[in-house]
Amino acid sequence: MTSVNASPAVERSAAIDIRDLRVDYGDFVAVDDLSLTVPRGEVFGLVGPNGAGKTSTFRVLTTLMMPTYGDVFLEGVDIQEDLESARRIVGYMPDLAPVPSDLKIWEFLDFHAAAYGLGTKAQRRERVAECLEEVALTDQRNKWCKELSRGQTQRVVLAKTLLHRPKVLILDEPASGLDPLARRDLRMTLQRLANHGATIFVSSHILSELAEMCTSVCVMNRGRLLASGTADEVRHQLGSSERTLTVTLLARADEAASWISSRHAVRDVRSSAHQVVFDFNGSDEDQAALMEDLIHAGFRVRTFEEKRTSFEEILVEVAESNRRS
């Protein structure tokens, strides 16, 4: 058995540690000096427009290609120094992974379980059953793969990815083309896997989709990391902390609009019969103080609503910056 080469400098709590990763295709730079750490047990999202470098990053993480330079550690294992151990640690679900039309679901999974060397026939059967239960397909085990819906196909491929109990799951656009119910089921499955100790690195070009299922996210563009952290932290790092606030009052909306206009971090105030709408770029503390002071000033507030810049709008801004530059 190949020994595990773990770097003593690798952060002990890190499931994925990427350092100065670069991927070139001739003169084209797909990944440009990417450094990123993903802690154990997280559902970590990678988002970016097409051509951002997401798939190239994943291909390196899953040992399907070697980087131009840089280092990647999975659970402390240097993937370039110990390929065999790295491949035991990682499970990869590519975008639009095919399944054979002439096999039943259980046959497809049993074939891959045998390829992984998962013990005897009885042991493989038991593991296949466990993975089918994990993705809620136990009652479909005898269904032909050619009869599967898009959502069922995604779940079968996820079950295949789980067979060898990988500690790190790399999922490239797993929710692509799924309906809302299937996305909800996928989200619940990923959260359950993370709760059981797996670390999940998942990509999408739909940021709101990742925000629903991930504990942290990062944004890439043109091969570079633009922001990383919680959803709110990413908003702030990308300069999208501004929000639109709507105050509904029982009376005196025009007076309230004039009062609000004089406050810190307020701009573009609009009023109607019972509402005042304005843009606000202050902190959460500033927003709480504004609401409190508005009430203390004698205005009778019925509702106070917030609308933040959507993740899709943030991503559109990132993509449009590509075209301008």
The answer to whether 282 and 264 have CB atoms below 8 angstroms apart is: yes
Q: Packing angle between helix 121-134 and helix 150-162, nearest 10 degrees?
A: 130
Classify burial at 286, counting beta carbons within 10 Å of its beta carbon; exposed 0-12, middle 13-18, buried 19 or more.
middle
Q: State the DSSP code for 176.
A: T
Q: Which of 68, 57, 17, 20 is nearest to 170 (CA)?
A: 57
Q: Check if the beta carbon of residue 307 is closer than 8 Å to that of residue 235.
A: no
Q: What is the residue-level pLDDT of the chain in tens, covering all 325 positions?
A: 333 444 445 455 799 999 999 999 999 999 999 999 999 999 999 988 888 899 999 999 999 999 999 999 999 999 999 999 999 999 999 887 888 989 999 999 999 999 999 989 999 999 999 999 988 899 999 999 999 988 889 889 999 999 999 999 999 988 877 778 878 888 888 888 899 889 999 988 776 667 777 888 888 988 999 888 887 778 777 766 678 899 999 999 999 999 999 998 999 999 998 999 999 988 888 999 999 999 999 999 999 998 866 666 666 666 666 555 5
In whole angstroms, what is the distance from residue 254 CA to residue 36 CA? 50
- 10 Å CB burial of residue 250 (0-12, 13-18, 19+) is exposed
Could you tell me if residue 165 is left (phi over 0), alpha (psi between -120 and 50 degrees) or otherwise beta?
A: left
Q: Which domains does the chain have, with CATH numbers?
A: 14-237 (3.40.50.300), 243-308 (3.30.70.100)
pLDDT of residue 47: 86
Do residues 24 and 68 touch, judged by C-beta distance below 8 A? yes
Between CA 271 and CA 256 the distance in angstroms is 9
Query: What is the DSSP-derived secondary structure letter of residue 109?
Result: H
Cα–Cα separations (whole angstroms), residue 220 to 53, 153, 207, 234 = 7, 28, 11, 11
Decide: helix, strand or coil at residue 299: coil
The confidence score (pLDDT) of residue 289 equals 94
Give the count of alpha carbons within 13 A of 131, CB side only.
26
Report the C-alpha gap between 147 and 65 in whole angstroms.
Answer: 33
Q: Which residues, at least 6 apart from 214, have a Cβ–Cβ distance to it below 8 Å?
A: 42, 43, 44, 45, 202
The model carries a pTM of: 0.74
Q: In a 3-state reduction of DSSP, which class is residue 167?
A: coil
Rg (CA), the chain: 24
Whole-number pLDDT of residue 212: 74
Give the contacts of 277 (CB within 8 A, at least 6 positions apart). 244, 245, 246, 247, 269, 270, 271
pLDDT for 7 equals: 44
The sheet with strand 224-229 has its strands ordered as: 90-93, 168-172, 199-204, 43-47, 216-221, 224-229
